[in-house]
A and B are shown apart, each in its own frame.
Chain A
């Protein structure tokens, strides 16, 4: 793949000596395992931006830990953790221009945050209120997609729609998991993207697992990136634990989506090779199906640590600054939790936004519920089996 002009892409050459090493065979990377810039590469981001990216990744990790803990305390419901994947999430959103669109799954909390969704909104949805799905004016992020792969054709269609309307300044970035590549929607979406040559970037977060099913039981293809070939679009594998590499690759894909040079095709499938350190969701127990020692091997390439090392090595970060950042993110997340927890249940919300105008029948159903609330109090509606 041709990357930004000033960048010389470096394909890591690691001899496969275990599953994990082979996953990193032929991936694009910029930082080595210790966070040193590989020779001859340009991370394509100013020092300030790299520092800001670091802060966002750190915030994402802290958010993740807090969300898991809130779930354990019963304050939020099922949560899909992202630890290990934040580097890639943050970096893909850094590659977007403001007018570009983001189609996330249920795990892209950090990607959404970086592209403009506020932290309290993320938590409000987790607290069980649909208000949390509302996206602020001007923020181009779709609410999370829970049914697997269904977002892929939508993202393609939106990209197509913009080109049909001559709005060539925007691209659409769509996240999906490795499991999602098995669904028909994935294939239909990518096929359309190729046929109609639309400005879309599909980021497959290959975290090696779809709940308990490992990547190699999801597809017999050697890589996910190679699937792009069958749709006549470009595919690339990137080290998803190297935020700078993910940034460079995604930025280039966005550039190409909007401004292809002669012979270039707009759509790209990026396979971001990463690992889901924790459980699939807080209702899942990975010890039933996988060897936890594997996770430790992947942790050696931790995105936060690697970027942190890089910033220390280049003098962009010191311990004082790091402490400052830590204090700031803790404060931000704590405030967000407080704000979100202040949201109150409004049962009328069930009936709102089903249609632009509430039909009489539905209105009558709401009135009936409200009568019963008055008569029996809110306690009568807490559980069904009581």
Chain B
């Protein structure tokens, strides 16, 4: 698996080999040590350390007043987090799965996103809503959602989706320190898929900056989260088999988008494919494609391809492998852009 090209992190020189989920725990712990106003809350985040162990050890380290097991109520968790933020704390609510965020949707879009504008800048809502998202882990119904577009569509929210352990920690740190509400989506398919050197101590990966995971001059692929891996696999394969060099851009922040990096890459290649797990219709791919056309139409050599989940609910696990974009589907999509 390609996990290289992670050299954009300032570091104190020390690193440790962590999985993505361990990097998140490390990021939480590092920031909580630095800033006493941070509190983590959610279902099973305390004694149990989170159902994915993302908050493992934090309860022991910081106690039950800062790592809080709440009743099972997403609207209550996010709604109370808004109040906590208004009181001057920095809450980090965990949604157990993205598919269970909908009860909190009202609080997020009606309030978290608008407190700044509604109060004319007088109040803000500094919080990071963490949620594991995406498919591929043979989970039951509603456990494999990737509906990032819902949140990207809402002005006032920032949306982040890391694809590597080092990014996960750096982006989480930046999100925690960001004065606006951030939806931090964790690609659970790659929570434990690989380890990587992650700098110890605090560092930020700035929000709103994409990362070029692989350079290439023939075609640009835009993706994020767990789909970065199959996109890199497809790119390597096309390079080996056909000599096609694909530039793979990991967007990392979905709102705000790094328009400059998106457009610059396209100006170089003139061809693009966008890969996401979410259904195609009105997915984020549509937005990215339009940005490219608005900003770089004259560079365009071929129709922009979207390789995405289907416009159907994620199937139960026996068929989810057919639903998620696979390396072969990505390859075909890239070829469609190249061979046009």
Contact = CB atoms under 8 A, between A and B. Distances in A.
B280 interface: yes
B322 A347 contact: yes
A384 B136 contact: yes
A386 B233 contact: yes
A78 B138 contact: yes
B70 to A, nearest CB: 8
B313 A354 contact: yes
Contacts of A179: 71-72
Nearest to A383: B321
A306 B187 CA distance: 47
Interface string A342-371: 000101011100100001011001100100
Contacts of A380: 326-328
Interface string A100-132: 000000100000000000000000010111101
B311 A77 contact: no
Contacts of A148: 72, 100
A213 B43 contact: yes
Interface residues of A, number: 53
A106 B71 contact: no
Name B's interface SS. Answer: loop
A180 interface: yes
B315 A350 contact: yes
Given A147-B100, A362-B310, A384 B189 contact: yes
Contact of A211 (B51, B189, B332): B51
Interface string B229-242: 11001000000000
Nearest to B142: A146
Given A129-B319, A182-B71, A283 B51 contact: yes
Contact of B321 (A288, A289, A372, A384): A384
B54 to A, nearest CB: 14
A300 interface: no
B236 to A, nearest CB: 12
Interface residues of B, number: 55
A385 B229 contact: yes
B316 A351 contact: no
A365 B143 CA distance: 23
A211 B138 CA distance: 19
Interface in B117-159: 136, 138-143
A213 B311 contact: no
Contact of A77 (B75, B140, B313): B140
B319 A350 contact: yes
A257 to B, nearest CB: 27
Contact of A183 (B103, B230, B316, B332): B103
A216 to B, nearest CB: 11
Nearest to A385: B229
B43 A385 contact: no
B322 A369 contact: yes
A218 interface: yes
A213 B44 contact: yes
B51 to A, nearest CB: 7
Contacts of A41: none
A382 interface: yes
A258 B46 CA distance: 44
B298 interface: no
A354 B48 CA distance: 37
A359 B280 CA distance: 14
Contacts of B190: 385
Contact of B280 (A130, A217, A365): A365
Nearest to A179: B72
B297 interface: no
A381 B44 CA distance: 34
A166 interface: no
A128 B317 contact: yes
A218 B319 contact: no
Given A283-B51, A384-B230, A345 B326 contact: no
A184 interface: yes
A20 B181 CA distance: 43
A339 interface: no
Nearest to A129: B318
A182 B317 contact: no
B328 A376 contact: yes
Given A180-B72, A288-B48, A365-B310, A386 B315 contact: no
A212 interface: yes
A130 B99 contact: no
Interface string B8-29: 0000000000000000000000
B316 A125 contact: yes
Interface in B176-213: 189-190, 193
B139 A362 contact: no
A329 interface: no
Given A78-B139, A213-B43, A385-B1, A183 B73 contact: yes
A210 interface: yes
Interface in A209-224: 210-213, 217-219
A373 B326 CA distance: 11
Interface in A259-297: 283-284, 288-289
A185 interface: yes
Nearest to B321: A381
Contact of A362 (B99, B143, B312, B319): B312
Nearest to B77: A182
Interface string B88-115: 0000000000011011000000000000
Given A183-B73, A369-B310, 8 more contacts: A128-B316, A129-B316, A130-B316, A212-B69, A217-B71, A354-B311, A381-B326, A384-B325
12 contacts: A77-B139, A77-B317, A128-B318, A211-B48, A212-B69, A213-B71, A347-B319, A354-B311, A375-B328, A381-B322, A381-B328, A384-B321
**Top 10 nearest A-B pairs by Cβ distance?**
A128-B318, A212-B48, A182-B71, A128-B317, A179-B72, A347-B322, A182-B73, A381-B321, A128-B316, A380-B328
Interface of B: 1, 43-44, 46-49, 51, 69, 71-76, 99-100, 102-103, 136, 138-143, 189-190, 193, 226, 229-230, 233, 280-281, 310-313, 315-329, 332
